[in-house]
Structure 1
Amino acid sequence: MIWLSIVLLSCLALAPAALPLWRRARQVRDERSAALSLHEAQLSEIDRDLDIGLIAPAEHDIARLEIQRRILVADTAPTHADDAIPPVAVWSALGLIPIAAVGLYLTNGVPSLPAQPLGPRLAAQHEQNTRGDAVVQRLKATLAMIPAGDPNLRQGYLLLGQAEATREHYAEAAEAWNHALSLGFDPEVAARTGEALTRAASHVTPQALDLFRKALDAAPKDAPWRGAIQARIAEGEHEQDNP
Structure 2
Amino acid sequence: MTWLALALLAALVLLPVLLATLRPPRPRGRAEADRALYAAQIAELDTQRAEGRLDEAAHRAALVEVQRRLLNAPAPEESEATLRPAPALLLALALIPAAAVGTYLWRGTPGMPSATLAQRNEAVSRDDTLIATLRERLARADINSEMGRQGWILVGNAERNRGRFAEAAKAWTRALSARFDPGLAGDLAEVEIERGALEEARRWLGEALAAQPGDPRLRFLSGMVEARAGRPENARATWRALLADAPADAPWRELVEARLRALP
TM-score range, shorter chain: 0.3 to 0.5
**Which one scores higher on RCO, CA 8 angstroms, separation ≥ 6?**
2
Per the normalisation by structure 1, the TM-score is 0.46
Per the normalisation by structure 2, the TM-score is 0.43
- Which has the larger share of helix? 1
Larger Rg: 1
